């Protein structure tokens, strides 16, 4: 049930919330709720540009899914106001994921992994428990309870739809939109599936980790998308396209499953946690190399204790990580014989252990 309140039951705080402006339709403020004394975020949606049915749909979905730990809690109340529909939600004090993405650099991997794990859980909850898709997954709609992403909240359910609902051609194509929607023509429709959110999630991860979009639109006329599509169709041994070289093989496997061109075979969020165990970025994996006779001893910064490179026709390296040892074949090396700081391309390692 939705409880109705008049605008005399709350008062405006001195601070605006650092998110929530979207196409001139919505704006979020901090308010002090007089009945409880708690500070909440009040989302204002313009009545002259929003149908009552659409507002009630967003309010209903927001309340329904807000029980999940990684989804913003929405109070089951509707505040009566003259010019706006209003939604009362918990306040996220640290802004949005978008606010911490450094242009061309992105967000540190470990921080993003914490965020991604919670997001995947929230989306899987929506898909499996309520048969709903979010429909507008992007950094602006991920709220931060702290700057290190120990607790994040998925928000903004104005585009949420039931799985199986028909959708037609969009008036605007945006970078995180999946190709099956981008390519819809006039009077063409498709049934929405969870794959729409999975694709947007893959784009969100790329943007958060790099600080830029991989392409402008998922259409053949976009060169960057075309190159990626060719890589997707090239099999396991295709070289990563430009703009993706800083990701590890495991991360590229993750992106390949999230951004599979065919929505039917695209991944789900059920087993996403498996991708969190492997490094995503090649940056920082290797610190320096020391030459001892014919063997190279490589010291690493993250995860690996040491790598011993033994020269030969088929050069192999011994990797020791917390007592676990495996052999990996080297595909590329450098020839410097002194202590050096290595470029990120120092080693390109195959994933096959011997």
Residue with the bigger pLDDT between 42 and 140: it is 140
Q: Residue 30 — pLDDT band, cuts 50, 70, 90?
A: low
Range 315-337 average pLDDT: 46
Which residue has 């595909």 as its token pair? Answer: 331
Q: Is the pLDDT of residue 224 over 60?
A: yes
Write the DSSP symbol of residue 269. S
Helix (H) or strand (E) holding 322: none
Pairwise CA distance, residues 167 & 298, whole Å: 53
User: Within a 10 A sphere around the Cβ of 134, how many other Cβ atoms?
Assistant: 28
Number of residues assigned to the chain: 354
pLDDT in the model for residue 304: 46
Q: Is the pLDDT of residue 345 over 70?
A: no
Residue with the bigger pLDDT between 108 and 332: it is 108
Q: Is 220 helix (H, G, I), strand (E, B) or coil?
A: coil
**Superfamily per CATH, domain 3-90:** Phosphorylase Kinase; domain 1 (3.30.200.20)
Write the DSSP symbol of residue 49. G
Q: Is the pLDDT of residue 237 over 90?
A: no
Asked if residue 101 lies in contact with residue 26, where contact means CB atoms within 8 angstroms, the answer is: no
Domain 97-277 has CATH 1.20.120.530: no
Q: pLDDT tens across 149-163, in order?
A: 999 999 999 999 999
Residue 170 exposed, middle or buried by CB count within 10 Å (0-12, 13-18, 19+): exposed
Q: pLDDT tens across 195-223, in order?
A: 999 999 999 999 999 999 999 999 999 99
Asked if residue 298 lies in contact with residue 307, where contact means CB atoms within 8 angstroms, the answer is: yes
pLDDT in the model for residue 162: 98
Range 312-323 average pLDDT: 46
**Long-range CB contacts (< 8 A, 24+ apart) of 115-118?**
115/142, 115/149, 115/152, 115/208, 116/201, 116/205, 116/272, 116/276, 117/272, 117/273, 117/276, 118/69, 118/70, 118/149, 118/151, 118/152
Q: pLDDT tens across 260-304, in order?
A: 999 999 999 998 999 999 999 987 554 444 444 444 455 554 444
Common-topology check for domains 3-90 and 97-277: no
Pairwise CA distance, residues 194 & 200, whole Å: 10
Strand pairing report for 189-191 and 324-330: unpaired
Catalytic residues: 136
Q: Where are the domains of the chain?
A: 3-90, 97-277, 288-353
Q: Is 139 helix (H, G, I), strand (E, B) or coil?
A: helix
């Amino acid at each position: 049930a939705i409880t109705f309140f008049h605008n005399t039951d709350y008062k405006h705080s001195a601070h605006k919330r650092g998110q929530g402006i979207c196409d001139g339709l919505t704006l979020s403020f901090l308010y002090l709720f007089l009945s409880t004394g708690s500070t909440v975020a009040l989302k204002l949606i313009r009545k002259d540009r929003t149908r009552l049915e659409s507002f009630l749909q967003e309010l209903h979905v927001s309340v329904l899914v807000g029980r999940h730990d990684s989804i913003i809690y929405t109070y089951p109340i509707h505040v009566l106001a003259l010019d706006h529909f209003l939604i009362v939600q918990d306040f996220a004090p640290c802004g949005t994921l978008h606010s911490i993405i450094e242009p061309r650099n992105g967000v540190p991997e470990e921080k993003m992994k914490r965020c991604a794990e919670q997001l995947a859980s929230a989306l899987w909850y929506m898909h499996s428990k309520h048969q709903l898709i979010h429909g507008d997954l992007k950094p602006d709609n991920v709220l931060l309870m702290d700057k290190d992403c120990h607790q994040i909240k998925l928000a903004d359910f104005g585009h949420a739809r039931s799985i199986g609902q028909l959708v037609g051609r969009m008036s605007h194509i945006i970078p995180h939109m999946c190709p099956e929607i981008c390519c819809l023509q006039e009077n063409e429709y498709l049934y929405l599936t969870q794959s729409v959110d999975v694709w947007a999630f893959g784009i969100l991860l790329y943007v958060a980790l790099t600080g830029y979009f991989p392409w402008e639109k998922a259409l053949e006329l976009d060169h960057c998308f075309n190159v990626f599509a060719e890589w997707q169709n090239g099999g396991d041994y295709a070289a990563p396209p430009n703009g993706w070289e800083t990701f590890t093989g495991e991360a590229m496997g993750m992106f390949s499953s999230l951004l599979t061109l065919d929505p039917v075979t695209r991944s789900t969020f059920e087993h996403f946690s498996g991708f969190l165990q492997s490094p995503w970025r090649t940056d920082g994996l290797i610190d320096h190399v020391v030459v001892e006779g014919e063997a190279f001893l490589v010291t690493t910064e993250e995860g690996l204790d040491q790598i011993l490179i033994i020269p030969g026709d088929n050069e192999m390296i011994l990797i020791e990580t917390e007592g676990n040892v495996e052999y990996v074949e080297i595909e590329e090396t450098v020839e410097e014989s002194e202590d050096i700081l290595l470029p990120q391309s120092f080693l390109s390692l195959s994933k096959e252990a011997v």
